[in-house]
Amino acid sequence: MTLALGCLLAAGLLLVASPFLWPAREPVAVAARAGVQTRMRSRLTQAGFGGVPVSVFIAVSLAVGLASAALAQALLGVQALAAVAGLAAAVFPSLLVSWRARARRRANRTVWPDVVDHLVSAVRSGLALPDSVSSLAQSGPAAGRVAFSAFEREYRATGNFAHCIDELKASLSDPIADRILETLRMARDVGGSDLTIVLRSLAAWLRQDAAIRSEVEARQSWIVNSARLGVAAPWIVLLLLASRPEAALAYNTPAGGLVILGGLAVSAVAYRVMVRLGRLPEERRWFR
């Protein structure tokens, strides 16, 4: 009995210590970090900042956060508010990039059906698929002409359509572009005479989806605006109160710091819930 209990205890201790003894979890952590970097890179590309390295973007965000925290501490003298200001300023570049990426996707959503129509016209005129895609460097949307020009140069240099499609998908970083380019890849690989029919059906579906999304976003925009106003108003009042010396002394105590940090947590949760309720889910990139 003693031996059995000793074995059970040893097995339990071994299971507890196994994550630290075996480095099998390290590739998972590396993959998770790589996934975060890939998402950040995709978001920067969608926002039009594809030439900015992820490390530089993170460094700039941290520098802005530290500068804002120092400025808030110098002006108000409240440590909790300085920490909140630094955190908000550090997160602001990411929010700005996300907002710009959504705006560009929203603007391009109405353009992609026209791109499909150009591809249908090029294919029906007898051009090969690589030449049809390359023609979008002149007739495609202005936001994507640089990427299509890079595709044209890369295909002339390598002649590898699949590789050039992957590079074009990475440059555009758009879920709708992924669908169009994967349709072209499948047509290139398996052939068939129904490519124009498929592309026309895709263009019709994209136009219908864009119209429905525009209508729903217009109706639900008041929810998002109300969430932003509801989050900003208490902090504006708090800044006005903290400008008074007696209020600054009260907020500079441990209890005052807990109140400010608790308000920050409540504001963040409430804002995320309101935005999630008032915003349509973003399309995911399934073909990366």
Q: Domain-by-domain residue ranges, the chain?
A: 44-108+211-278, 110-192
Average pLDDT value for the chain: 79
Q: How confident is the model at residue 31 (pLDDT cuts 50, 70, 90)?
A: very low
Average pLDDT over residues 223-241: 81
Residue 98: the pLDDT is 84
- Among 15-24, 46-55, 72-81, 168-177, the range scoring the smallest mean pLDDT is 15-24
By three-state DSSP, how is residue 52 classified? coil
Average pLDDT over residues 145-153: 86
pTM, whole model, 2 decimals? 0.66
Average pLDDT over residues 28-44: 64
Let me know if 42 is exposed, middle or buried by CB neighbors in 10 A (0-12, 13-18, 19+).
middle
Residue 29: the pLDDT is 44
- Among 167-171, 180-184, 245-249, 262-266, the range scoring the smallest mean pLDDT is 245-249
- Which DSSP symbol is given to 135? T
Helices marked H in 110-174: 112-124, 129-134, 136-139, 145-158, 161-172
